[in-house]
Amino acid sequence: MSVVRLPVVSSTSPPPAARAHPAAIVDGDPRDALVDRFARRVSYLRLSLTDRCNYRCTYCMPDDAAFRPRADLLTFEEIVDVLGVFAELGVRRVRLTGGEPTVRNGVVDLVARVAAVPGIDEVVMTSNGHRLPELAAPLATAGLRAVNVSIDTLDPARFAAVTRRGDLARVVDGIDAAIAAGLEVKLNAVALGDLNGDEITALCAFAWARGIVVRFIEHMPMSGGALFDADREVTAAAIRAAVEAAFGPLRPSPPRAGAPRGPARYWHLAADPGREVGIISAMTEHFCDDCNRLRVTATGELHACLGHDDAISLRDVLRAGGGRAGLVDAIAASVGAKRAGHDFQRSGGGGPSKHMVMMGG
Ligand code: SAM
Ligand code: SF4
């Protein structure tokens, strides 16, 4: 059996059982490079376009977070090269995120270029919605299929406080512009007791009035735990209980045929299956066994897991002239070292030192 060359790597805290992936990429089906040692097949990539953001959400980043110099970001050409290799290995779906992806200069052009990468079937985005009033239609025309928009509260004062500089009215306009542009829209809300613990049902009603779904996200201890406070936690069970108290019993929604697996679990009202709520419960109801994703940061660091600092720099591989073969090796090594799951603890420990805004949420 051939041995996969280890790539040029930059890694913070290597995982204990890190190893190169078996040499299937040399001897067998290239797509086997994306099967990890727990038999999980990666089919989905989250790609951060920038670590910058026009908001400063208190649970995501400190107000004074330092951003990386622009020269450190993957260029459009590098993004297309990296995606081409992922597509060759079997990735079909890309989620563009950040930071705030819509603040990357030329984002509409970039979406068109990503959508044109052979093998990439679906390009979707996660956004804070602030720029969607202007950008939703051009992004849809460029090939974006769907957008998840973050909206944690429907109270303008709370919204301004949690985002530090956000504008709720613009985000609502952005959501409506995205729906009008034909994008599939979902809403994301990080569930925090003092932020929106009393708005769970209002956020459901807001989404359902638009025929869309809201997903509540349990807060995860990124940033070395500095932004995490277990006392603010709203558990998945508490979210379901709040919805049931207001709207009646929930039933688990069956996975949609052909829909990609993801960390969100969905429930619908027993009385109205069209009214669904999603919950992303990293803390209280783990989902790592089903993980099918990798993350590439705006500076090209490949993270096999959001919950760990381990990373391999695809940008360094590219800029050292490693080309396609170097990228394949680096990706295979990262997948081969993918950990069983995150180690988030409710004490705030166990997570990465990086802020979510840097990692690409
Ligand atoms: N700026 C875009 C946005 O806000 O949707 C995309 C990037 S943001 C990092 C992606 C998602 O991560 C958002 O829904 C945000 O609310 C969520 N998020 C940020 N920090 C988080 C944390 N520590 N735990 C859980 N979710 C978090
Ligand atoms: Fe920016 Fe999104 Fe983080 Fe808020 S959650 S600071 S909008 S990256």
What is the Cα–Cα distance from 79 to 186, expressed in whole angstroms? 26
**Which residue, judged by its Cα, is nearest atom 26 of ligand 1?**
219
Question: 166 CA to middle of ligand 2, Å?
Answer: 10
Extract the tokens encoding 246. 């207001």
Q: Is the CB of 207 under 6 A from ligand 2?
A: no
Ligand (nearest to CA of 99): 2
pLDDT tens-digit map of 276-288: 999 998 888 877 8
Ligand (nearest to CA of 224): 1
**Mean pLDDT on 75-94:** 96
Question: 130 CA to middle of ligand 2, Å?
Answer: 11
107-115 and 76-89 helices, crossing angle to 10° = 30
DSSP 127-194: E-STTHHHHHHHHHHHT--EEEEE---S-HHHHHHHHSS--HHHHHHHHHHHHHTT-EEEEEEEEBHH
What three-state secondary structure class fits 87? helix
Atom of ligand 1 nearest to the CA of 149: 5
Atom of ligand 2 nearest to the CA of 60: 3
Residues with CB under 6 A from ligand 1: 53, 59-60, 97-98, 100, 126-128, 150, 188, 190, 217, 219-220, 222, 356-357, 361
pLDDT tens-digit map of 119-142: 999 999 999 999 999 999 999 999
pLDDT tens-digit map of 7-53: 333 334 444 444 444 333 445 677 778 998 888 888 899 999 999 99
Among 113, 50, 127, residue whose Cα is nearest residue 84: 113
132-142 and 107-115 helices, crossing angle to 10° = 30
Atom of ligand 2 nearest to the CA of 126: 2
Q: Is the CB of 298 under 6 A from ligand 2?
A: no
Lowest pLDDT segment from 1-15, 200-214, 334-348: 1-15
Give kind and range of the element (H or E) at residue 276.
strand 272-280
Among 268, 223, 235, 222, residue whose Cα is nearest residue 249: 268
Residue 250 and residue 270 in contact, taking contact as beta carbons nearer than 8 Å: yes
Lowest pLDDT segment from 27-31, 82-86, 169-173, 189-193: 27-31
CATH numbers and ranges of domains, the chain? 22-359 (3.20.20.70)
- Give residue 292's pLDDT: 83
What is the Cα–Cα distance from 257 to 357, expressed in whole angstroms? 32
- Give residue 2's pLDDT: 33
Among 109, 67, 85, 115, residue whose Cα is nearest residue 297: 67
Question: 60 CA to middle of ligand 1, Å?
Answer: 6
The pTM assigned to this predicted structure is: 0.92
Among 359, 237, 253, 261, residue whose Cα is nearest residue 306: 359
